[in-house]
Structure 1
Amino acid sequence: MALVTAGTVVLDCAEPERLAVIYAELLGARQTEASANRIEIRAADGVRMAFRRDASATPPSRPRTENLLQAHLDFVAADLDAAERRVVALGGRPVEAGNTPGPYEERGFCDPAGHSFTLRRGTPPTAPEQG
């Protein structure tokens, strides 16, 4: 039996409202909780993320080595080109130019607060059965 269960991935940032909108759109999620300093979203597949206000949050400096990675997120997309266009339209920026073709193709990005994430080619998992 597991000692703990997965909770919520929480990203500290200066503008939680902005990040909540971006990640909600990318994940097809809906807002489940909100306060002055925290917004939580939940996707249909059960993934939960929260964005906590921290006016002194220091963005990770990826790809530079100082203050490198505080967290890294991986997302799966069937159509990497469409996903990349949407990420950029929502304010994300590419951080790795090298695309590796094939079944493990991935592309690196940072959200507007500097958190890094990767889009990987693949088929998104189906939502778990409810019941």
Structure 2
Amino acid sequence: MTVPKTSVLILDCAEPEPLARFYAELLGATAGPATGNGELFLVTGRTGTVLGVRRDPHHAPPSWPLPEESQQAHLRILVAADSLDEAEREAVVLGARPVAAEEDGTRLDNRTTLRRFTDPAGHSFVIAAVREDPTPLTGWRP
């Protein structure tokens, strides 16, 4: 028998509370401290915890998209294909910075199917269009 488990992606940054609020607003979730010391904040949506943000006073953001640097890890936020432009506007209004990328061949009806960004602390994420409703967690394929 396998022990029940769950997982969450944790992003390191110098100031976790503002970054947790950024993702909570972007994802329509809530953010709050996981511990009393403010070192870890959890972003929680209707399906449970979706992201953690941890204080690291020595954090240096990745220099992606420079070709010689690794992206390390990134968050992929799924939206309906017809909502891609609106999701991009929401992200930018909240403080995301668009990242230009070379053509990668991902097209949907002659439109790019994903948009690349860095969050206010410099972590990379993409907003990706999917052909089906992205809200159910069961049955979707990346």
TM superposition score normalised by structure 2: 0.77
1:102 corresponding residue in structure 2: 108
Q: 1:112 and 1:55 mapped to 2: Cα distance? A: 15
- Structure 2 counterpart of 1:48, from 47, 50, 56: 50
Aligned residues: percent identity? 43
| 1:126 corresponds to | 136
Q: Deviations over 1:56-83 (max 9, x none)?
A: 1010111014542221111111201111
Is residue 62–residue 122 contact of structure 2 (8 Å, CA) maintained in 1? yes
- Partners of 1:74 and 1:27 lie apart in 2 by 11
Partners in 2 of 1:75 and 1:32 — Cα distance? Answer: 20
User: Whole-Å Cα distance in 2 between the matches of residues 58 and 4 of structure 1?
Assistant: 34
Aligned pairs, number:
128
- Deviation (angstroms), 1:33: 3.3
1:80 aligned residue: 84
Matched residue type, 1:118: V
Distance 2:29 2:68 in 1: 33
TM-score with structure 1 length normalisation?
0.83
In the alignment, does 2:122 pair up with 1:114? yes
Per-residue Cα deviation, 1:31-68 (whole angstroms, up to 9, x for no partner): 35343211112111334211111111010111014542
Unaligned runs of 5+ in 1: none
5+ unaligned residues in a row in structure 2: which ranges? none
**CA-atom RMSD in angstroms:** 2.4
Who is 1:5 aligned against? Answer: 5
Counterpart Cα distance in 1 of 2:91 and 2:27? 11
Name the CA distance, whole Å, in 2 between partners of 1:119 and 1:106: 5
Q: Is the 8 A contact 2:21 2:30 kept in 1?
A: no
1:68 matched residue in structure 2:
70
- Distance of 1:18 and 1:33 partners within structure 2: 12
Equivalent residue for 2:20?
20
Secondary structure, aligned partner of 2:90: helix
